[in-house]
Structures are given as C-alpha cells and as structure tokens.
C-alpha cells in the first residue's frame, strides 16, 4: 500500500518491485491518492507491467589525482 497527500508519483522499493515482477498477476498494489482530503483507493493488479523507472542514487563522488595535485600546489 502506498499513499500520497495529493496525486503524485509512486515509488517501490527494490524488494517490492522484484516481488511484483516475480508474482505477476498474484501481486496487487494498493495506492491511495488524496489522503489529505478525500482519499481515493486504487487497486493495480500486476503492477510490474506499468513501466517503472529505476531511481539511481549517488553513493560516491570522485575526483582525479590531477585535480588533487593542482589544488594542493595552489596553496
């Protein structure tokens, strides 16, 4: 079950998405839009078919050795 104060995009965890992919029509997603006013419940069977896009998070930043050496020599 996912809920939104208004109407907006919904995200699944990796586990939820993989389970939806594996179970297909045996998996349902319940989404409640407008939780802050007049809630609307929507049931989606086989939600993996909806064309979900992965969210990529930044885990690390990197810089080359030349930038480090240049910055160190500038002081």
Asked if residue 72 is part of any domain, the answer here is no
Asked if residue 1 is part of any domain, the answer here is yes
pLDDT at res. 26? 98
Asked if residue 69 is part of any domain, the answer here is no
pLDDT in tens, 16-50: 999 999 999 999 999 999 999 999 999 999 999 99
Q: What angle do CA 36, 20, 54 make, to 5 degrees?
A: 75
pLDDT at res. 74? 85
Q: What Cα–Cα distance (Å) separates residue 41 from each residue in 1, 25, 30, 38?
A: 10, 19, 7, 10
Residue 40 tokens read as: 């609307």
pLDDT at res. 41? 98
Its domain, for residue 28, covers 1-50
């Amino acid at each position: 079950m996912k809920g939104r104060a208004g109407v907006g995009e919904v995200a699944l965890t990796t586990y939820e998405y993989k389970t939806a992919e594996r179970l297909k029509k045996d998996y349902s997603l319940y989404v409640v839009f407008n939780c802050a006013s007049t809630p609307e419940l929507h049931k989606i069977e086989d939600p993996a078919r909806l064309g979900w896009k992965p969210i990529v998070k930044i885990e690390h930043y990197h810089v080359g050795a030349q930038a480090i050496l240049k910055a160190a020599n500038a002081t």
